[in-house]
A and B are shown apart, each in its own frame.
Chain A
């Protein structure tokens, strides 16, 4: 099993550009989440999903969109990138049957200039 995979690993955007961060998991987990990691701020929940077709906002959803059309995939979209979105982004998946243990991807380092 590959677990949770994220692409790309690194990305540089200019202000106003759009992009999609990809996340996929092969563990058949019902739950998936997106976090951003910033120095001194820890991990903050952006959006999460409890199943295909169901998404909800976390702590810091502004500027981001998500969708969950399949159990495996949970892409994060930045519609108009801003320098404040410079961060490391982590995707995670979990299942209630495994005690909600979060399985994290390797992260995407995004820089917005």
Chain B
């Protein structure tokens, strides 16, 4: 079965500290993974995707096929990073599986 697991429902870090949001997946094919973010009172939006291998707002995520992980990292957390983060796997076409989400709070 294709699944996405985000083990942390809540994560709190101090401003300036490193942050890592964990995501593990199970998928029998070649995975395509995304991170979506939902800021307070805003729509869910794409943060980054593994194919692009880019850094957005200081966040990076590397696909590790051996560990079946796609953890989201940022070296120095900012208060504006406080949000709900979802890891998602695109199965085929338009079929996405989302994780349960991690609520990140950055403490000033």
What band does the interface of chain B fall in when counting residues whose beta carbon is under 8 Å from A?
20 to 34
- Complex CA distance for A90 and B101, rounded to whole angstroms: 15
Within 8 A of A (CB), among B91-108: 93-101
Within 8 A of A (CB), among B16-70: 32, 34, 36, 43-46, 49, 51-52
Set of chain A residues within 8 Å of B45, measured between Cβ atoms: 104
For chain A, what secondary structure do more than half of its interface residues adopt (helix, strand, loop), or is it mixed? strand
What band does the interface of chain A fall in when counting residues whose beta carbon is under 8 Å from B?
20 to 34
Using A99-B49, A99-B51, A101-B49 as known contacts, say yes or no to A90 and B94 having CB atoms under 8 A apart. Answer: no
For chain B, what secondary structure do more than half of its interface residues adopt (helix, strand, loop), or is it mixed? strand
- Complex CA distance for A41 and B45, rounded to whole angstroms: 18
A53 on the B face (CB < 8 A): no
Closest-CB distance, B9 to chain A (whole angstroms): 7
Using A101-B49, A105-B43 as known contacts, say yes or no to A43 and B86 having CB atoms under 8 A apart. Answer: yes
The 9 closest A-B pairs by CB, nearest first: A31-B94, A42-B100, A43-B98, A104-B44, A42-B98, A48-B94, A101-B46, A104-B43, A42-B101
Query: Can you list 11 residue pairs at the A/B interface with Cβ under 8 Å?
Result: A31-B93, A31-B94, A42-B86, A42-B99, A42-B100, A48-B94, A59-B97, A94-B94, A100-B90, A102-B46, A102-B88
